[in-house]
Amino acid sequence: MSDFLKIQGLQARIDADGTPKDILKGLDLEVPKGEIHAIMGPNGSGKSTLSYVLAGRDDYEVTGGSATFKGQDLLALEPEERAALGLFLAFQSPVELPGVNNANFLRTAVNAVRRARGEAELDAVAFLKAVRAETKHLSMSDDMLKRAVNVGFSGGEKKRNEVLQMRLLQPSFAILDETDSGLDIDALRIVAEGVNSLRSPDFSALVITHHQRLLDYIVPDRVHVMAHGRIIHSGGPDIAKTLEKQGYTQFLEAAA
């Protein structure tokens, strides 16, 4: 299967107080199966918009282009259908769900996805066993399972909770939207390990980040530079180091 994730000429806009604002302006990107790619870019370049559009958030209007995943028209699917197909977005700042028990939420999600994939649902015991294994791995306390989803979680706890969900839902393609922001070095290592442990010929990821730091832990196969709603440069992992030293200016100038 040559086409895994393929984005062509993608354009998207958001309604900003009544006036449409174009954010993605003809973005091209391919992430083959089994590869991890990184997107770096200055604030406002459209990185988070890209992740939301891929995950199916309807605040954004797609005005042109296409995005296919495993040969399917991604943009025609509901968010839950994308999840079932194997797409996972680790949110930059996950929303709080007051009163919704975290363990219950995880189990509901896992079984919804399993159902959609034609797999047997996990009963409470099997699920708990699976979760316990993961939380231990991620150094999460059991307490976090008993609390309401993301309510009162510290920044680090929220990110770990995202990684926990990713591990449990076993996606074939994960988007990590600035998962490193606000993380100390230990938490960063745990998150990175969570992603690396999923690495296989069947798993791909798109790591969106500001900093080269995360890419020391999750070494990408390719790095893309994004600006003004487009990928303006692509290359090997060494680009990240260049960016860290010299900033975006040279790429922006080259693209202009």
Partner 1 sequence: MPAVTETRETVEKLAKSSYEWGFETDIEMDIAPKGLNEETVRLISERKGEPQWMLDWRLKAFRAWLEMEEPTWAHLHHPPIDYQDAHYFAQPKKKPGPKSLDEVDPELLKTYAKLGIPLHEQALLAGVEGAEERLPVAVDAVFDSVSVATTFRKTLAEAGVIFCPISDAIREYPELVRKYLGTVVPAGDNFFAALNSAVFTDGSFVYIPEGVRCPMELSTYFRINARNTGQFERTLIIAEDRATVSYLEGCTAPQRDENQLHAAVVELIAMEDASIKYSTVQNWYPGDDEGRGGIYNFVTKRGICRGARSKISWTQVETGSAITWKYPSCVLAGEGSVGEFYSVAVTNNHQQADTGTKMIHLAPNTRSTIIAKTISAGHSDSTYRGLVRMQPKARNARNFTQCDSLLIGDQCGAHTVPYIESRNMTARVEHEATTSKISEDQLFYCRSRGLSEEDAVGLIVNGFCREVLKELPMEFAVEAQKLLQISLEGSVG
Q: Which residues bind partner 1 (CB under 8 A)?
A: 55-59, 78-80, 82-84, 88-89, 91, 94-95, 97-101, 104-105, 108-109, 112-113, 116, 148-149, 165, 169
List Cβ<8 Å contacts ≥24 apart for 69-74.
69/4, 69/5, 69/6, 69/173, 70/1, 70/3, 70/4, 70/172, 71/1, 71/3
The Cα 178–Cα 207 span in angstroms is 7
Task: Point out which residues pair with 14 in neighbouring strands.
Answer: 21, 60
Task: Point out which residues pair with 16 in neighbouring strands.
Answer: 19
Determine whether 193 is exposed, middle or buried from the number of CB atoms within 10 Å of its CB (0-12, 13-18, 19+).
Answer: middle
Residue 197 gets which letter from DSSP?
T
What CA dihedral angle connects 110, 114, 116 and 117, to 10 degrees? Answer: 140
Q: In what order do the strands lie in the sheet with 173-177?
A: 87-90, 173-177, 204-209, 36-40, 222-227, 230-235
Helix (DSSP H) and strand (DSSP E) numbers for the chain: 10, 12
The Cα 219–Cα 195 span in angstroms is 11
131: left (phi over 0), alpha (psi -120 to 50) or beta: alpha
CB atoms within 10 A of CB 115: 12
